[in-house]
């Protein structure tokens, strides 16, 4: 009897202790009880927020949150146009000075009124950031004229100013609040005070972030009551959570799950244009890749369709140009190298490598390794023996930055400013770790990029960029593979997602429709 009493006591104390520990977790309902315009939209993404400080991160997961809490001076529309957000208007006084006027009566979440001092403080703080400071390095100083007017003085003419101000790193902070936090050595973790459509509610590290609608928002009010953004790292777990209805939208869809989502009548798979491109970069300063004929031969040996099937389960579109088709500055008016091993062989022979040669391809992920294997198989048929070397991304960037590689499978995601793409990828000043991992040096290309950066005329810029792409594809410095489809999945009663090719999605208009 004594034994049973002991056992009972143990069981009871276990239950008690356990229930206390369950209390550690925040308790929210799994079913979406509230309907209509106050409904909370539950979303899932693959990684956690790194920082709530817009100046302390430059990643998609964090900016999905901060973009909705803070506002910028300028925002990008889904049509690719830059319009005023906090800025009522702006005007170029000359090529180095821009005068801005703020919208009046904009309030921060704590009730403070936004002034030009907040803007000056925010931009100067951003300049000192190691993560997003480079975006505003053209800003020399900010001169406050009065509460609503200020002038940005630049140290060099730059077309990138406007787009940089729309980047989530250009968020406008509350000077008073942030100065106090900085002085106290505190982070913005539970103290995000912005002017955006949502107010910060709670953060459970590794689990979820909750935002609630800001009813005093200066712009159009959000169509939902708030956002709950959950972290679900595992791909299939994300899809299952959408299937069970625990989640309304998933932002990172695994290509292997795409068909399963398409076949489910309760779910929708939304595809959007992406600025991401994957390609094989060749080291143009290393023999035999210093020979343009060799590089062209390799271009002809790349079977894009097979690579798409093997690497990303078919969820991509083949690409002949050097940018994702959603990128600003994209042009498809370039030399297209079709998959033709005979032509490749002939070019190799012409280059003096009829018997082929040995070389290696560096990769840093499984997807890229699978793509490299397809290339390896094709190249073996024209006498080139390829060794695939997979490494950690840190090592990969080190080695390809110092030019150790023959070839490397890598990629690029363009943002709203084409100079941020063309300069690192093709300009000779960025050879190596700067982003030009083909070590491509071409003075004509340099001039075209520099000219484009110095003018505000969009047509002139686009002409120059198209010319850069044409010259570079003739020189065959890359062998482009594909543009990955942007994939977002949602329950079919969800509507109003605004998806951007540069991943600056907006969720203000997401709402539930009657089925």
Positions in the binding site for other proteins (CB under 8 A) = 3, 14, 17-18, 21-22, 24-30, 47-48, 50-51, 53, 56, 58-59, 130-131, 133-134, 187, 189, 204-208, 230-234, 236-237, 240-241, 243-244, 246, 391-395, 397-398, 420, 424, 433-435
CB of 436 to other proteins, least distance (A): 12
Shortest Cβ 397–other proteins spacing (Å): 6
Nearer to other proteins, 179 or 207 (CB): 207
CB 130, min distance to other proteins, A: 4
Residue 319 zone, left/alpha/beta (φ > 0; ψ -120 to 50; rest)? beta
Closer to other proteins at the Cβ: 224 or 239?
A: 239
Closest approach of other proteins to the CB of residue 61, in Å = 11
Whichever of 184 and 215 has its CB closer to other proteins, that residue is 184
Q: Closest separation between CB of residue 30 and other proteins, Å? A: 5
Q: What is the side-by-side order of every strand in the sheet holding 407-413? A: 316-318, 478-484, 276-282, 407-413, 358-363, 385-390
Picking from 268, 263, 277, 348, the residue whose alpha carbon sits closest to that of residue 318 is 277
Q: What is the CA radius of gyration of the chain?
A: 26
Cβ distance 106 to 113 under 8 Å?
Answer: yes
Q: CB nearer to other proteins: give 18 or 36.
A: 18
**DSSP H helical ranges for 70-174:** 116-127, 161-166
Enter the tokens of residue 309.
Answer: 């099937």
Beta carbons of 116 and 149 less than 8 angstroms apart: yes
* 113 DSSP β-pair partners: 107
Minimum CB distance to other proteins smaller for 86 or for 323: 323
Q: Which is nearer to other proteins, 21 or 513 (CB)?
A: 21
Q: How far is the CB of 33 from other proteins (least distance, A)?
A: 13
- The smaller minimum CB distance to other proteins, of residues 3 and 111, is found at 3
Tell me whether the omega of the peptide bond preceding residue 288 falls within 30 degrees of 0, making it cis: yes
Nearer to other proteins, 42 or 175 (CB): 42
For other proteins, which is the closer residue by CB, 114 or 188? 188
Our CB check for other proteins shows the closer of 392 and 474 to be 392
Whole-number Å distance between alpha carbons of 223 and 48: 25
CB of 434 to other proteins, least distance (A): 7
Distance in Å, CB of 314 to other proteins, minimum: 24
Least Cβ distance, residue 21 to other proteins (angstroms): 4
Looking only at the bridges linking them, the beta strands covering 40-45 and 226-231 are parallel
What minimum distance in Å lies between the beta carbon of 289 and other proteins?
A: 21
Cβ pair 199, 109 in contact under 8 A:
yes
Alpha helices in 387-502 (DSSP H): 393-401, 419-426, 443-454, 458-474
The least distance separating other proteins from the CB of residue 412, rounded to whole angstroms, comes to 8
Strands (E), 118-225: 139-144, 149-154, 198-204, 208-213
Cα–Cα distance for residue pair 261/256, rounded to 1 Å: 10
Burial class (CB in 10 A: 0-12, 13-18, 19+), 104: exposed
Q: Which is nearer to other proteins, 14 or 285 (CB)?
A: 14
Nearest of 368, 493, 406, 393 to residue 32 by alpha carbon: 493
**Contact, 159 vs 453, CB < 8 A?**
yes
Sequence-separated (6 or more) residues with CB below 8 Å from residue 351: 288, 291, 293, 294, 297
**Pairwise CA distance, residues 144 & 147, whole Å:** 8
Minimum distance from residue 165 beta carbon to other proteins (Å) = 17
Cα–Cα distances in angstroms (integers) from residue 139 to residues 94, 144, 156, 492, in the given order: 14, 14, 8, 45
Nearer to other proteins by C-beta: 218 or 397? 397
Longest dimension (CA), the chain: 94
């Amino acid at each position: 009897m004594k034994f049973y009493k002991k056992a009972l006591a143990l069981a009871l104390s276990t239950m008690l202790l356990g229930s206390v520990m369950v209390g550690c977790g925040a308790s929210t309902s799994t079913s979406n009880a509230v309907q209509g315009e106050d409904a909370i939209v539950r979303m899932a993404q693959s990684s956690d927020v790194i920082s709530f400080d817009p100046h302390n991160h430059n990643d998609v997961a964090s900016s999905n949150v901060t973009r909705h809490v803070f506002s910028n001076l300028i925002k990008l529309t889904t049509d690719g146009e830059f319009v005023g957000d906090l800025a009522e208007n702006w005007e170029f006084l000359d090529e180095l000075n821009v005068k801005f006027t703020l919208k009046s009566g904009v309030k921060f979440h704590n009730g403070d009124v936004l002034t030009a001092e907040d803007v000056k403080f925010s931009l100067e703080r951003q300049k000192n950031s190691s993560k997003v400071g480079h975006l505003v390095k053209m800003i020399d100083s900010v001169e406050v004229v009065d509460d609503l007017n200020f002038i940005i003085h630049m140290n060099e003419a730059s077309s990138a100013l406007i787009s940089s101000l729309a980047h989530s790193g250009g968020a406008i902070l509350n000077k008073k609040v942030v100065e106090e936090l900085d002085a106290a050595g505190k982070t913005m973790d539970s103290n995000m005070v912005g002017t955006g459509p949502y107010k910060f509610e709670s953060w459970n590290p590794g689990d979820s972030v909750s935002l609630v609608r800001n009813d005093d928002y200066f712009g159009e009010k959000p169509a939902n009551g708030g956002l709950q953004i959950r972290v679900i790292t595992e791909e299939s777990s994300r899809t299952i959570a959408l299937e069970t209805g625990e989640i309304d939208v998933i932002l990172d869809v695994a290509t292997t799950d795409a068909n399963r989502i398409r076949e489910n009548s309760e779910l929708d798979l939304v595809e959007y244009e992406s600025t991401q491109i994957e390609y094989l970069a060749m080291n143009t300063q290393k023999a035999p890749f210093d020979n343009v004929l060799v590089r062209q031969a390799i271009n002809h040996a790349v079977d894009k369709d097979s690579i798409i099937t093997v690497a990303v389960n078919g969820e991509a579109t083949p690409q002949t140009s050097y940018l994702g088709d959603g990128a600003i500055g994209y042009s498809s008016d370039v030399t297209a190298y079709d998959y033709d091993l005979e032509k490749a062989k002939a070019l190799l022979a012409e280059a003096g490598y009829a018997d082929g040669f040995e070389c290696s391809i560096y990769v840093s992920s499984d997807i890229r390794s699978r793509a490299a294997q397809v290339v390896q198989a094709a190249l073996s048929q024209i006498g080139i023996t390829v060794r695939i070397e997979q490494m950690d991304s840190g090592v990969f960037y080190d080695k390809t930055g110092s030019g150790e590689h023959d070839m490397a499978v890598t990629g690029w995601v363009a943002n709203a400013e084409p100079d941020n793409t063309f300069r690192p990828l093709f300009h000779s000043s960025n050879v190596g770790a700067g982003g030009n991992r083909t070590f491509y040096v071409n003075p004509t290309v340099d001039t075209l990029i520099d000219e484009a950066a110095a003018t505000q005329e969009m047509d002139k810029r686009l002409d120059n960029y198209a010319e850069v792409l044409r010259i570079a594809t003739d020189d065959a410095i890359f062998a482009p593979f594909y543009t990955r489809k942007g994939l977002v999945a949602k329950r079919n009663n969800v509507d109003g997602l605004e998806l951007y090719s540069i991943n600056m999605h907006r969720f203000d208009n997401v709402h539930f429709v009657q089925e």
